[in-house]
Amino acid sequence: MERDYLKDWSGALERDMEVLRFGRAGVPVLALPTSQGRFYQWEDFGLVGAVADRVDAGQLHVWCVDSVDGESWYAKDRHPRQRLERHLQYERYLVDELMPRIAERPIAAGPSFGALHAVLLAVRHPTRVRGFVGLSGAYDTARWLDGYSDEDAYLTNLLAFLPGLDDQAYLGPLQAMNPRVIATGEEDANVADSIKVARLLRERGVSVQLDLWPGWAHDWPYWKDMLRRYLSQ
């Protein structure tokens, strides 16, 4: 596969951010890592290899991005408000700095904590994202905020704001996305989150493919199989 390493200064985050890009043609995939994962995680754990045939055929190209979870949701040494602000800076990096470099709207995809990023990005910025694939996600962000609540905490928690979302400026693009996938193991500790997010989206008229895989299914071999399935639809 054609492989490019990119490193650029992010004004939103005020530091360098690193990216790996595989291929240049076809549908772009914004590849989000697991909690506190790095930009090389998808390559190291075989997720890029799982779709290598489609990349080589010019059907997909994959943008593997870094996370700042250790500075945001997982930064227990910071006040929850600071954690939220860092996440929103990361979102601005993705939407305003990285995604304009991608020729078409990407599919946002990720396993575990990357699933939260993928689905949240799609719902909050539906005109900028082509579709989403969330694998084994945990979607209730209140658990990382130690009881703290404000407007941004509400608007970054899918389980909180989806019940009241009725704005067609958001729902119309969400309803038109492809793919719209939430998948997890039926014995995953956070399976209830996946079921609830899918139900809330369906109640808003967004037809979501909810797949419950046998067993736990929360590991790289499962995620490789899932990606091969959902990125070939």
Give Cα separations from 211 to 134, 187, 190, 217, 222 (angstroms).
10, 12, 14, 11, 13
Give pLDDT tens digits for 133-154. 999 999 999 999 999 999 999 9
Give the per-residue pLDDT at 69.
98
Mean pLDDT of the chain: 98
Residues 94, 100: Cα–Cα separation, whole Å: 9
- Name the pTM for this structure: 0.97
Give pLDDT tens digits for 30-55. 999 999 999 999 999 999 999 999 99
Q: Which CATH number fits domain 68-230: 3.40.50.1820, 1.10.10.10, 3.30.465.10, 3.30.70.100?
A: 3.40.50.1820
Give pLDDT tens digits for 55-71. 999 999 999 999 999 99
Contacts of 42 (CB under 8 A, 6+ apart): 20, 31, 33, 48, 62, 64
Q: Are strands 60-65 and 15-22 parallel, antiparallel or unpaired?
A: antiparallel
Residue 168 clears pLDDT 80, i.e. is over it: yes
Give the per-residue pLDDT at 38.
98
Give the per-residue pLDDT at 43.
98
Q: What is the separation, in whole angstroms, between the first and last Cα of the chain?
A: 21
The whole-number average pLDDT for the span 161-168 is: 97
The answer to whether 57 and 25 have CB atoms below 8 angstroms apart is no
User: Sorting pLDDT into bands at 50, 70 and 90, what band is 166?
Assistant: very high
Residue 233 clears pLDDT 80, i.e. is over it: no
Give the per-residue pLDDT at 232.
84
